[in-house]
A and B are shown apart, each in its own frame.
Chain A
């Protein structure tokens, strides 16, 4: 037993250095809705990730699954490096990123005002909501052929697919965010002398901003699902296209490298937005 363990009070984890300053006990880790600790959560997250890679390595190394189907982790990294250096994969990444952000921003600039509008005036909500509700239940992959007939296989059809997949969800999420702004906030606005357009801008939009940013973050994630679908069906560039063409030669490491790229981009963007969230909504 380590000396540190002997000094640790009962119930405390035997790694006091890692948890320096944070009174994390086994009790609070396993308690239902126990108090959380940034340090402990981060370390647990990293441990789980390393464990996952380790499991993958073991399965592949001992050929529990043929390596043709599950290559070693470093083979995937090697493939990724090769694609970036030799195959100009960075350009495909860039194309996919611009498609995603282009379509996402288009959805946002339309959904935010329309969503707030829907929640502000009953007539707008009553007119728009049934249509939105109907369209948002249409499976996006089913719309891809139609959108290709309409928009061809150029950039506009990709944007259209992503837009169809996000706008109709987002507009309802935004409308909900706006509806959750307490009625008293709006009445306070009136009794301080604000007109409806100022109430929308200074109170409703500001009040709903944190939950809206969360919804935008989640919606941006969906964009990455739909872009791969769109690029697999009809494209000659982009990450989805690369994944699909590598599949034809059963280049599993390359396919997995493509998937990994999407995962990394998603993780980085998500963390970046979370950081912005913490930075600008410090009052929460």
Chain B
């Protein structure tokens, strides 16, 4: 069965958050979503806020369970979180009691596939890869938010995951830092060649980063459109990609999809019976 299985298969996944029968009605957040991802593919989940894209990513990571449907990663059924599915959150999750290098080394702490010496080496490697060499011995609350996210990325990579799950990792950063980190993330992944699922509601970010964009509807999430960015924006992504006409056209197209979805939700708005 694993032979014809893609790297990641999401098979008719649905998720309903159960109500309590009184004040909270059950909420269906994901409706039978299926997709296949290739190894090394950079995938972006794009959709309006609260549409269920984060929940889908968390199900892939094993941090939530699907109400129905299955996930297979590299042939194995996903049943819970582990080291193969690395997470980067929007909030700063680097540990304040550790320095930059200690945080990155924490990523290797629970690996039993490598020895102590190799762990030190790996931590050093990822420290340099995210460009924080000179901040190695700084506590993480002494460095900027952008640097903290780079620490989190390095820590996750140091754990040696098969796939990187990123939940709006640059959402809390200012525009300049965000652009810089988007570019750096692509640079890093040119080396790492990891499969990535990147959740965002920023259209430009999605078009710039993705090999493939999945555009989701408002709750319950279904796939509205699947976009292979290389079909529209050819060539390698660089700092100037965002200024090209091809990028501009695709961005506008995706933005129109987002707007149409937002309008549809507004028009269909009914006061919710639950909070």
Report A's interface with B, CB cutoff 8 A: 182, 184-185, 187-188, 190-194, 198, 202-203, 206-207, 209, 281-284
Contact = CB atoms under 8 A, between A and B. Distances in A.
- Most chain B beta carbons < 10 A, residue from A185, A193, A194: A193
B30 interface: no
23 contacts: A182-B91, A182-B93, A184-B91, A185-B93, A187-B63, A187-B87, A187-B89, A188-B155, A190-B81, A190-B82, A191-B61, A191-B81, A191-B83, A191-B85, A191-B86, A191-B87, A191-B156, A192-B86, A192-B155, A206-B95, A207-B97, A283-B97, A284-B96
Contacts of B93: 182, 184-185, 188
B145 to A, nearest CB: 15
What are the 8 closest A-B residue pairs judged by CB atoms, nearest first?
A193-B83, A193-B110, A190-B81, A283-B139, A191-B87, A184-B93, A192-B159, A184-B89
The B contact surface, by secondary structure, is loop
A193 B96 contact: no
Interface in B79-124: 80-83, 85-87, 89, 91, 93, 95-97, 106-107, 109-111
Given A191-B87, A191-B159, 18 more contacts: A182-B93, A184-B89, A185-B93, A185-B95, A187-B63, A188-B89, A190-B81, A190-B82, A192-B110, A192-B159, A193-B83, A206-B95, A206-B97, A207-B97, A209-B97, A283-B97, A283-B139, A283-B141
A16 to B, nearest CB: 31
Contacts, number: 64
Contact of A192 (B61, B89, B107): B107
Contacts of B89: 184, 187-188
A185 B83 CA distance: 14
Interface of B: 61-63, 80-83, 85-87, 89, 91, 93, 95-97, 106-107, 109-111, 139-141, 155-156, 159, 161, 165
B95 A207 contact: yes
B61 A203 contact: no
A190 B156 CA distance: 11
Contacts of B159: 191-193
A282 B97 CA distance: 9
A188 B94 CA distance: 9
A192 B97 contact: no
B94 to A, nearest CB: 9
A203 B141 CA distance: 17
A278 to B, nearest CB: 14
A224 B261 CA distance: 64
A91 B106 CA distance: 49
Nearest to A194: B110
A191 B157 CA distance: 11
A194 B109 contact: yes
A233 B83 CA distance: 59
B197 to A, nearest CB: 13
Contact of A198 (B86, B110, B165): B110
- Most chain B beta carbons < 10 A, residue from A182, A190, A281: A190
Contacts of B111: 193
Contacts of B107: 192
B82 A193 contact: yes
Nearest to A185: B93
Contacts of A185: 93, 95
- Most chain B beta carbons < 10 A, residue from A188, A203, A206: A188
